[in-house]
Amino acid sequence: MTSQAPLTYDQAGVNYDLIDPLKITAQRAAAATASHLAGHGFSEVKASRGESAYVVDVGPFYMASIVECLGTKTLVADEMARQTGKSFFAGIAQDTIAMAVNDLITVGATPLVVQAYWAAGGSDWFGDAQRAQALVAGWKAACDTCQVAWGGGETPALAGIVEDGRIDLAASCTGLINPKERLSVGDKLGADDAIVLLASSGIHANGLSLARKLAERLPRGYLTEIEPGLTYGEALLAPTALYSPVTEALWKAGIAPHYCANITGHGWRKLLRHPSALTYRIHTVPPKTAVLDFIQKQAGQDDREAYSTLNMGAGFAIFVKAADAERTAQVARDCGIAAWVAGTVEAGEKQLLIEPLNIRFSEDDLALR
């Protein structure tokens, strides 16, 4: 392994440089449609443009909505099913819902309804009853955890678009920000706020292209043990943590986050998501989960590369006033999710300083708007 070149995210096949310009054009066209809401007596929350969920002021409360893709994690589940005979689609269902719910809650919304988008490469996919039932059971269990209603969804067979034997999974989620003071689109974010990081359960559902590429370099592939009794494949398939129980518990505890960031694609650079010019100084770095530590070492990534693409043990960031920081972490722990008061927000140029690792990310490292 050590003789091989380091494996970067671009080499793993995802080129954000090709996607991001289209994304920016689309965002501009989308912004120009906001005026339609006035015809219905409503208006958008402009600060939600570019955030993880879109927010509309409908009078008595705000309405938030989102659609999110699982990504390529099913390819790992498919390969592990082939090699072990086990089905991992209950966990995959949780991953998919987590992608939507964890984004929706960043703006302060209570998720209410999830819709399923299960686009298979052919009708045959649904004929494997065991796998299909696992998907249904896992989807329902994740809805139960998030106290969200599963509204329905779409189960198309898309031969010629989705590859034979594969499935493209996504979820849409709609929620309300109620009461309106729960809105957290960053207008209250400022110097002296604390940064609380919530533990991830593993790789979650971002960075899988890299993780799959890496499996090809391992002599035993997904069956490589990363610690006694735990294979690389199983570790990758740990379902993504669901954070909405934490944000709901925070509100019940009287804590209103100033801002939240779901740490997904672009890794810790997501901490720079808000457009404000502020410095984010991290003094405490959560432990890496075993699978992320393994990936970093095997891929030969330095810390900067690893933290710029993977969650590295922190799946969600909550920005609160300093006086609420310890209590915020405790509320998360009471929900069964490890949490750390990890840093502070300061006046100053837009940058993220991960001091224990001597890493600095600047605004140029994250061009999402």
User: Shortest Cβ distance from residue 190 to its own copies (Å)?
Assistant: 25
Q: Which is nearer to its own copies, 154 or 225 (CB)?
A: 154
Q: Is 149 in the site for its own copies (CB under 8 A)?
A: yes
Taking CB under 8 A as the criterion, the residue among 7, 9, 62, 71 binding its own copies is 71
For 141-209, what is the HEC assignment? Answer: HHHHHHCCEEEEEECCECECCECCCCEEEEEEEEEEECCHHHCCCCCCCCCCEEEEEEECCCCCCCCHH
Q: Is 189 in the site for its own copies (CB under 8 A)?
A: no
Q: Find, among 347, 307, 190, 176, the residue nearest to 248 by Cα.
A: 176
Q: Which stretch binds its own copies (CB under 8 A): 110-118, 275-283, 291-299, 352-360?
A: 110-118
User: Shortest Cβ distance from residue 124 to its own copies (Å)?
Assistant: 7
Are the CB atoms for 273 and 339 separated by under 8 Å?
no
Are the CB atoms for 266 and 308 separated by under 8 Å?
yes
Taking CB under 8 A as the criterion, the residue among 8, 37, 327, 350 binding its own copies is 37
Q: Is 367 in the site for its own copies (CB under 8 A)?
A: no
Q: Which is nearer to its own copies, 159 or 323 (CB)?
A: 159
Which positions from 314 through 353 interact with its own copies, judged by CB under 8 A? none
Alpha-carbon dihedral 9, 16, 304, 321, rounded to 10 degrees: -130
Are the CB atoms for 82 and 165 separated by under 8 Å?
no
Which positions from 4 through 33 interact with its own copies, judged by CB under 8 A? 13-16, 18-19, 21-23, 25-27, 29-30, 32-33
Query: What are the distances in angstroms from CA 42 to CA 59, 186, 206, 295?
Result: 7, 21, 35, 47
Taking CB under 8 A as the criterion, the residue among 36, 217, 220, 360 binding its own copies is 36
Query: Residue 318 corresponds to which tokens in the numbers above?
Result: 């909550």
Which positions from 116 through 135 interact with its own copies, judged by CB under 8 A? 116-117, 119, 122-124, 126-127, 129, 132-133
User: Shortest Cβ distance from residue 126 to its own copies (Å)?
Assistant: 4
